Amino acid sequence: MKRFNKVLLAAFALVLMTSGSLVQAAVPNDPVQWGFKKGQNEKPAEAGKEREKLLEKYGAVYRGDPNKKNIYLTFDNGYENGFTDQILDVLKKEKVPATFFVTGHYLESAEDLVIRMVQEGHIVGNHSYYHPDLTKVDDARVKRELDRVKDLTYELTGQKDMSYLRPPRGVFSERTMKLAKDAGYTHVMWSLAFVDWNTDQQKGWEYSYNNIMKQIHPGAILLLHTVSKDNADALEKVIKDLKKQGYTFKSLDDLFADGAFDDPMLH
């Protein structure tokens, strides 16, 4: 019986080889909820070796070089709450680039703001169309989610390339990272954030300002939500004060240009 099983397995392997097929293990789909040890006193945030290793494998990032006083400003835009114009006004005045990760709902309900983002030199990134947990939907659905955002952004703004993805809810897996990379996307996580999205629990501009300033560190990828009045009211002072401290605001394209992303702490 054992001999029969060995012969059967050998024959099955031969059929696969001669047909040009290979048996490959499925890419793991264990969900990872993004998290990290917050930065403080200008020391960088740390996501831990396991998360960092997975990000590095797929060319993803959550911070820039901790030895360079650069900041990468990003916003998540799920829906409009009346503050994005104010934020864009500040960015224009201070000549600061940003990346706005948008959903399908935002594209359909705030067309003029998305157009303004691109016209004023900002990057529009992909936050998926319906904002699902991508680890819980099949491969085809993941592709549709990303394609619809990319296509609609192009129709509205003429932005041809969409290279950056921020997974909804900060949840991803090795499978979703591979799918995204195969589709031409780089996962962009973050190294500085705080609870700013509860619109009925805004605490005043100082709350936003203080949370940013106490966590700031060289190479920070800063995540803010545009629905927050606190963020909109604090942004100009944050930018001005960080510039006084020697920080430079750069775009995600700068982070990746000419090998600019090189975090020695990850090697």
What positions carry a catalytic annotation?
A: 76, 225
Chain CA centroid to CA 105, Å? 18
* Cβ proximity of 52 and 263 under 8 Å: no
Sort strands 186-187 and 70-77 into parallel, antiparallel or unpaired. Answer: unpaired
| Phi, psi for residue 193 in degrees, rounded to 5 | -165, 170
Side-chain-side CA neighbours of residue 176 (13 Å): 27
For 257-267, b/e burial (b = at least 16 CB within 10 A) is: eeeebebeebe
CA-angle at 262, arms to 258 and 215, nearest 5°? 120
CA distances from 165 to 12, 187, 255 (A): 40, 5, 15
Q: Which residue has the tokens 């995600």?
A: 252
